[in-house]
């Protein structure tokens, strides 16, 4: 499954992958070699711990390689603000509580609620996608349906 990301996020993923391969992988191999020198491998907790850490590191590298391979970079200058779409900022008002918030719709890897970034695949993100200014979005949540009015769409 491909994910939409900004160029900045794509570059960060590539930098992290480079660090994992060039710094962390050799460090994990060294830790295994040092633990191996300490004797019987069957009862060597340090060796088993180092092998487990190496396994987790390799899994993370594989996951990051997959994410990079399937990422689609979105150019902010090409975004249309007529409708809610990936990377747009949308100001919404909860129809029931009259509370207004602004979110940026992003891919899953960039989602950060504290920073006002919600995933396009989240319930609110799904409900808002494709909506136009003034339209009511019905979002299905565990407690039922929440209605949000789209107040503004911007970059």
Q: Is the pLDDT of residue 1 over 70?
A: no
Q: Does 82 share its domain with 147?
A: yes
pLDDT at 43: 77
Indicate the number of domains in the chain: 2
- Contacts of 121-129 with C-beta under 8 Å, sequence gap 24+, read 124/148, 128/84, 128/90, 128/92, 128/103, 129/84, 129/85, 129/105
DSSP character string of 26-77: HHHHHHHHHHHTTS-STT-HHHHHHHHHHHHHHHHHHHHHHHHHHEEEPPGG
Strands 71-73 and 136-141: unpaired
Determine if the pTM surpasses 0.75.
no
| 40 compared with 137, residue with greater pLDDT | 137
pLDDT (mean) for 9-24:
94
Q: Does 98 share its domain with 146?
A: yes
Q: Is the pLDDT of residue 36 over 90?
A: no
* Per-residue pLDDT tens digits for 71-125: 888 887 778 889 999 889 999 999 999 999 999 998 887 889 999 999 998 999 9
Single out the residue in 43, 73, 103 at which a domain terminates. Answer: 73
Q: Which of 17, 103, 32 is nearest to 65 (CA)?
A: 17
Mean pLDDT of all residues in the chain? 90
Q: Does 57 share its domain with 104?
A: no
- Its domain, for residue 22, covers 3-73
Q: Which of 112, 129, 131 is nearest to 120 (CA)?
A: 129
Q: Does 87 share its domain with 140?
A: yes
pLDDT (mean) for 44-55:
89
């Amino acid at each position: 499954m491909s994910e939409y990301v900004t160029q900045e996020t794509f570059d960060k993923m590539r930098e992290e992958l480079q660090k994992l391969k060039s710094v962390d992988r050799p460090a994990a191999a060294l830790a295994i070699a040092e633990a191996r020198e300490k004797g019987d491998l069957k009862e060597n907790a340090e060796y088993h711990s180092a092998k487990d850490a190496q396994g987790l590191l390799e899994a993370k590298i594989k996951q990051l390689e997959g994410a990079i391979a399937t990422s689609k970079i979105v150019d902010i200058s090409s975004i249309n603000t007529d409708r809610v779409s990936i990377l747009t900022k949308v100001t919404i008002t909860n129809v029931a509580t009259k509370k207004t918030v602004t979110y940026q719709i992003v891919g899953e890897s960039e989602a950060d609620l504290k920073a006002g970034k919600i995933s396009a695949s989240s319930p609110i993100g799904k409900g808002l996608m494709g909506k136009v200014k003034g339209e009511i979005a019905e979002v299905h949540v565990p407690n039922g349906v929440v209605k949000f009015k789209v107040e503004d769409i911007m970059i």
